[in-house]
Amino acid sequence: MKYRLTLDYTVPEGTLAPYFDALRQGQALAAQCTSCAATSFPPRPICGACGGREMNWRDLTGRAGVVRRTDTENGAFALVRFDGADGLATVALANPAERQAAGRLAVPPDARPGLWLQLENEDDDHA
Amino acid sequence: MSGVVVAGGAMTPFNRRKDGSGMRDWARAAFFDAVADARLEAGDIDALVVASESDFFTLQLNPAALIADELGLFGIAAQRVEGGGASGHLAVHAGAAMVMAGRARRVAVVGLEPSASHLPGAAVGALYGLSFDAWTDGMTGIDSTSLYALSVQAFMEETGAGQDDFAAIAVRNRQNARANPNAHLPLDIAAADVAASPVIAQPYRRLDCSPLSDGAACVILAGAAGLPDGGAGRARIAGMGVANDRVRLGERARPGRFEAKGVAMRRALAEAGATAAEIGLAEIYDSYSGAQLQALDGLGLAGDVVGAEREGVFAADGALPVNLSGGLLGQGAPVGATGVAQVLACALQLEGRYFGRRVATPPRYALADTHGGVATLNAVSILEAAR
């Protein structure tokens, strides 16, 4: 049998709505724990370091260094460290043909959630 | 210590079905063969646990009710268990817990998944991308192979593991699968074939990756008192452990290490009253060749897992044979069925009646290890031979 299912989701973003709003502008909005100051990006509603439940929003520069990357037929992905964040984040590389070791958060294509990084030279300044 | 006996079990071949059969057929075949293997009748079953990873794959919500009906089981306790790649193994744990709690006497655990035949591979890959944090990972288009690749790069850097080690595993598991009539990829390949296969996500090549498979597996769990002969000769589940890790790889202190497996392992060992050194056989979740080494490392089955790999410890004739079934790389991976089949393989090995490559001398303990995500949700069972 053949059956075609087309789904069109609308997903409320809840407490992370400010993060996604910023992301759609290409801006990095992190969560900072009011108890231990750990900064998570992408943000966590509960601190990953101390379990604190009070978080403040904190703007990051959006710049990140590439720690690891892997290239596939359909693009490239990387573990990166955003300046000011305590952990690493997984990103899709917006310009996978480039090989620079740093980049800046990019506006997601088609307003999708998720993190895209535009690779650029570390001394480039587009701020 | 659990007193749950694996009274019997069966599985269908794992492969890409081209014979027109469907998941309902596979579930029936596995179930009735398992009941017969347990020397029971279908009417003896008073609870059913169904494992299936995704309704997107099966196109069937509420699959436990459907499968119970398909099996002709009515008026029984039925439930579905899901935990990504660990779904089948978690279903075994759920069934065992029902027996241990006295909520059921004989539980059928049926794992199934039409991972290969229902949807195009690209669609399955896109859905698998939602197995991680869908909001931050999946919607970028990142796939499972890429996340595993990023993780194993860290493992390689920390341990000195190399692509040659991964190729040796990819070859060995496929060679083991050649003795398994139910295996998806019983390939006679060499390391050069792995190196020549296309890169999927560095460092992984196609032959480093497990396939998408169709199939079903079933085990019958019971207390000894629920079996006609007290379960004589059948293995039992001596210990179980589950532990999760952070979903987002970048938030882990050591993204290359499967540390939550160690937590699950310690819980299982404590329940079994056993030590890691007593494990004489293992079925490991080798979704990727390197993941097998990462899993063995996380489980604490070798102090220097790379050195042990190179010394042949995990070969069929080694001190700790791993994935004699072929593992996911060789036997295949119909997700909901995978963990059930791993537990079944361990039980049959301990009983000396495994249908594939057998361990030379059945040990006292065997270990089954399964996970969902990149070792995000980890399930471990330790099975003990009848004494």
Interface contact flag, B146 A77, Cβ < 8 Å: yes
Cross-chain residue pair A90–B246, CB shorter than 8 Å? no
How many residue pairs from chains A and B have C-beta atoms closer than 8 A? 84
Minimum Cα–Cα distance from B139: chain A residue: A114
* Beta-carbon separation of B136 and A68 below 8 A: no
Task: Inform me whether the C-beta atom of residue A91 falls under 8 Å from chain B C-beta atoms.
Answer: yes
Q: Which amino acid is at B3?
A: G
Q: Please indicate if any CB of chain B lies within 8 Å of the CB of A42.
A: yes
At residue B318 the predicted structure's pLDDT band, cuts being 50, 70 and 90, is very high
Q: What is the average pLDDT across A34-63?
A: 97
- What's the confidence (pLDDT) of residue A2? 93
Mark yes or no for CB contact A88/B153 under 8 Å.
Answer: no
pLDDT in tens, B174-217: 999 999 999 999 999 999 999 999 999 999 999 999 999 999 99
In chain B, what percentage of residues exceed pLDDT 70?
99
Query: Do the beta carbons of residue B278 and residue B319 sit within 8 Å?
Result: no
Q: What is the pLDDT of residue B125?
A: 86
pLDDT of residue A110: 85
Using only the alpha carbons of chain B, give its radius of gyration.
Answer: 19
How far lies B284's CA from each of A70, B42, B347, B387, in Å? 25, 31, 14, 25
Is residue B1 very low, low, confident or very high in pLDDT (cuts 50, 70, 90)? Answer: low
Q: How many CA atoms lie within 13 A of B113 on its CB side?
A: 32
CA distance B217 to B244: 25
Interface probe, candidates A16, A41, A90, A116, chain B, greatest B C-beta count within 10 A = A90
Q: Min CA distance, B120 vs chain A (Å)?
A: 12
For A18, B54, B55, B283, the CA distances from A10, given in Å and listed in that order, are 17, 20, 19, 41
For residue A112, the model assigns a pLDDT of 83
* Residues B83, B371: Cα–Cα separation, whole Å: 8
- Candidate from B59, B202, B251 with C-beta closest to A71: B202
A contacts of B250 (beta carbons < 8 Å): 79-80, 87-90
Phi, psi of B70 (to 5 degrees): -60, -30
- pLDDT at residue A125, as a whole number: 53
| For chain A, domain boundaries | 14-119
Q: What is the ipTM of this complex?
A: 0.95
CA-CA distance, B96 to B349, in Å (whole number)? 20
Strand pairing class (B47-51; B106-114): parallel
Where along chain B do its domains lie?
4-119+212-226
What's the rounded mean pLDDT across residues B220-230? 94
Task: Check CB contact under 8 Å for B250 and A79.
Answer: yes
CB contact under 8 A, B140 and A68: no
pLDDT value, residue B211:
96
CB contact under 8 A, A16 and B136: no
Rounded CA separation B102/B94 (Å): 12
Q: Measure Cα distances from B2 to B35, B98, B221, B233 in Å.
A: 21, 11, 11, 16
At the top level of CATH, the class of B4-119+212-226 is: alpha beta
Confidence band, pLDDT 50/70/90 cuts, at residue A127: very low
Q: pLDDT grade, residue A123 (50/70/90)? A: low
Q: What is the mean pLDDT of residues B146-170?
A: 98
Which residue, chain included where needed, has tokens 């231990």? Answer: A36
Chosen for mutation from B148, B251, B252 (greatest number of chain A CBs closer than 10 Å) is B251
Residue of B nearest to A16 (CA): B135
Is residue A126 predicted with pLDDT exceeding 70? no
The candidate with the shortest Cα–Cα distance to B81, out of B383, B333, B376, B336, is: B336
Note whether A74 contacts B: Cβ–Cβ < 8 A: yes
**Cβ-contact B63, B350 below 8 angstroms:** no
Cβ–Cβ gap B141/A68 under 8 Å: no
- Which one is predicted more confidently, B228 or B177? B177
Q: Provide, rounded to the nearest whole percent, the portion of chain B with pLDDT above 90.
A: 94
Contact between A67 and A79 under an 8 Å Cβ cutoff? The reply is yes
User: Is the Cβ pair B146, A70 closer than 8 Å?
Assistant: yes
> Which pLDDT belongs to residue B384?
98
pLDDT at B48 over 90: yes
Contacts of A72 in chain B (CB under 8 A): 143, 145-146, 200-201
Interchain pair B136, A114: CB under 8 A: yes
Position A124 pLDDT exceeds 80: no
